[in-house]
Amino acid sequence: MNAATIGKLKEIVGDDNVLDNPADLYVYGSDSSVHEALPDVVVRPRNAGQVQEIMRYANNERIPVIPRGSGSGMCGQVVPVKGGIVLDMKAMNRILEINLQDGYCRVEPGVVDDDLNKALKPHGVFYPPTPASSVVATIGGEIANNASGGRSVKYGAARDAVLAVKVVLASGELLSFGSTTRVAASGYALERLMVGSEGTLAVIVEACLRFVPIPKLRCLGSAKFNKLSEAGDAIAGIMGGGCQPSMLELIDKVAIVAVNKANNLGLPEVEAILLYEADGMAKEMIDVEIGKIEDICRKHKGFDMESSYEANERARIWAGRAKLFPSLSKYDESLASTSLADDMAVPFSKMAECADKIHEIADRHGLVMTAYGHCGAGCMHTKILMETDKEISWEHARAAVSEIYDFVRSVGGTTSAEHGIGMSKAGAFKKEKAASLELMRAIKRAFDPNNILNPGKLMDGPDDWVGETTLRYQSS
C-alpha cells in the first residue's frame, strides 16, 4: 500500500492505531478457518467519526475494507481476499447504556460477549445468543454472523436480540436502523438485514440489544441411546411435543469416543447421548418440563437418565460436551481438526439421519468426522479431522463437504445454522440460494456500489473453497 494512503489513515486514527509491518499483516490475514490472505494495512478506529472518515477515503480510492472483531469466525468471513484495509473494531468496546426500564442495552461493536454479560449480571439479566466462543467473540461479529449458541433453542439468536443498529455505509454516511422499542411493524427491517450480512453491507458502529431475566434455577439432564435414530426420534418428539428446553444437545458415538480418548472421562460409549436443560424461576415448572422430556426419551428407548439442579452435578453431566471441542484436536497426533462442514441446520426429524450421513460420507472418504450440536435448534456441527499436510486429504475433504451440503439441502436444511458462510461454504450457499442471488447482489450494490466492503464473501464467495482460495495449511 502506498505511503500516501498509510499517511492518510494515520492522520485519521493516529500513528499508534495503524499497522503495516509484514508480521502484523500476516496475523490479520487469517481467522479460525482454513483460509488466509494478506491485508495491506490494519487500522483501529476509536469512534464512529473515524470509521466515517476511513470509509469516505476508501470509497474514493476503491480500497477494500474488511471489518473485523476477534477473528474467531470459522469460514473465512474476515480473511481479506482482495487485500485492503482490515478495520479492527475491538477498540470500540464501550457499553454505552444499560436501560433496565426499557429493557435494552447499547454497546459498541468491539464489546466481547462475556464482558457484556458480566456487566448485565448484577442487574439480573443476560444477553442470550452467547455462542460457545463468547469468551472471545465480539458483539459486532456476532451480529454480522447471526451467532447463536446452546440456549438459543429457547432464547433465540443474535437476530432476535438486535433491536437497532448504527452503521457507517461505504459512502461514509452514518445511519440508524430499527427502534429501541420491542415492536416496530412497518417498512423494511434494515437492522435485521445487517444481521448475517458478514460485513458486506455496512460497518456496525453501535448496537441496541434486548436482554432477558437470568433464570433462578437450571436443571440439566442426560439420556443415553443405543441407536442414533432413536435419539433423533426423541429430539423430534421433544421439539414437536410442546416442550421448551433451554438446551438440547446431541453427542454421537464418535464424539463420545473422542472425549474419552482425550480426557479419560469414562463416558458410556453408546451410539448417542442427549443432554437437556430446563430453566426458570420456579422448581415446580422446571420439574414438569424435565419430566416431559424424560418421558419422551423413555418412549424412544432412552436409558440411564439422570438430572440435577446442583452446580457440581450439572458440571459433571456437562463434562463430555464441555470437553468435546478440545478433544477433537487431541483425537490423533497425526490429525488436525479443521473447520469444514462445521455447521448446518436440518429439520428436527432429520437430525439422526444427518448424523448418520455425515459418518457414511466420512468413512467413504477416509476422514474422521463427528456429529454434535444444538439439536433443539436443528443445528448440527462437525469438524473434519485430517492430515492437513497431504494434498489428497483436501481432495477428500472437498468431496465430503460438497456431499454433506447436498444432503442438507435435500432434506430441507440450510448451509449455516450459526457459523456463517464466508468462503468455506460459499459454494453450498450459492446452490441453496440460487434463486435469490441476484436479488442479494442488487441489495449489496444499493449499499456498496463500489464493492469495497468485505468483497469475495457470501454470494460472491468462491464455488470451490479448495481451488479458488489460499489455504493456510501447507500440503504436498
Partner 1 sequence: MTDLTKLEKWRSALNKCIRCGYCYDQCPIYKETGWEADSPRGKLILLYGMLSGEIEPSDYLANKMFECFHCNRCEKACSSGVPIQDVYNDARAFFIENGFDVVGTTSITDHEICARCLNCVRMCKHEARSFVDGKVVTDLLKCQSCGSCLDICPEKGITIQRGFGTNPNELLDKVDAFLKDPDNPEAKAIVFSCGYSSHPGLRHAESDDFVISREYEILVTACSGRLKSHTVLETLERGAWGVLICCCPEDECEHGGSPRVQERMKNLAKIMERIDIDPKRLQVVEVPQGNEAKFTEATKKFMEDIRAMGPLAPEPEMAGSAR
Residues that bind partner 1 (CB under 8 A): 19, 21-24, 26-28, 30-32, 44, 70-72, 88, 90-91, 112, 114, 118, 121-122, 133, 135-136, 262, 311, 325-326, 329-330, 333-334, 336-339, 388-389, 472-474
**Which residues face 306 on adjacent strands?**
222
Q: How far is the CB of 217 from partner 1 (least distance, A)?
A: 13
The phi and psi torsions of 242 (rounded to 5 degrees) equal 85, 10
For partner 1, the closer of residues 124 and 449 by Cβ is 124
What does the alpha-carbon distance between residue 347 and residue 114 come to, in Å, rounded to a whole number?
A: 30
Q: Find out whether 210 and 120 touch, Cβ atoms under 8 Å.
A: no
Grid-cell match 435414530, residue found: 229
Tell me how far, at minimum, the Cβ of 114 lies from partner 1, in Å: 7
DSSP state string for 381-445? E--EEE-TT-HHHHHHHHHHHHHHHHHHHHTT-BS-SSS--TTTTHHHHHHHTGGGHHHHHHHHH
Smallest gap, in angstroms, from Cβ of residue 206 to partner 1?
Answer: 16
**Cα(58)–Cα(41) distance, rounded to whole angstroms?**
12
Minimum distance, C-beta of residue 336 to partner 1, in the bound complex (Å): 5
Residue placing its CB nearer to partner 1 in the complex, 179 or 334: 334
The whole-angstrom separation of Cα 418 and Cα 143 is 11
Residue with Cβ nearer partner 1 (42 or 203) = 42
DSSP string spanning 167-197?
Answer: EE-TTS-EEEEE-SSS---SS--HHHHHTT-
CA angle at 10 for the pair 6 and 16, rounded to the nearest 5°: 115
In the complex, minimum distance from the CB of residue 305 to partner 1, in angstroms, rounded to a whole number = 26
Q: How far is the CB of 24 from partner 1 (least distance, A)?
A: 5
Least separation in angstroms between CB 135 and partner 1: 5
CA distance 24 to 5: 18
Please, what is the minimum distance in Å from the beta carbon of residue 300 to partner 1? 32
* Minimum distance from residue 94 beta carbon to partner 1 (Å): 9
Residue closer to partner 1 by CB (options 251, 346) is 251
Give CA–CA dist 132/114, Å, rounded: 10
Measured from the CB atom, the residue of 186 and 474 that comes closer to partner 1 is 474
- Enumerate residues 6+ apart whose C-beta is below 8 A from 172: 52, 53, 55, 56, 59
CB nearer partner 1, residue 72 or residue 200: 72
Least distance CB 32 / partner 1 (angstroms): 5
| Cell digits of residue 139 | 458483539
Q: Which is nearer to partner 1, 171 or 329 (CB)?
A: 329
Nearer to partner 1, 33 or 416 (CB): 33
Q: Which is nearer to partner 1, 184 or 471 (CB)?
A: 471
Query: Do residues 243 and 274 lie in contact, with contact meaning Cβ atoms separated by under 8 Å?
Result: no
CA 53, chain centre distance (Å)? 30
Distance CA 420, CA 140 (A): 14
Beta bridge partners of 162: 209
Minimal distance in Å, beta carbon 339 to partner 1? 7
Residues 6 or more apart from 454 whose CB is under 8 A from it? 64, 65, 66, 67, 77, 78, 198, 199, 200
Between CA 10 and CA 469 the distance in angstroms is 31
Choose between 388 and 414: whose C-beta lies nearer to partner 1: 388
Q: Which is nearer to partner 1, 44 or 425 (CB)?
A: 44
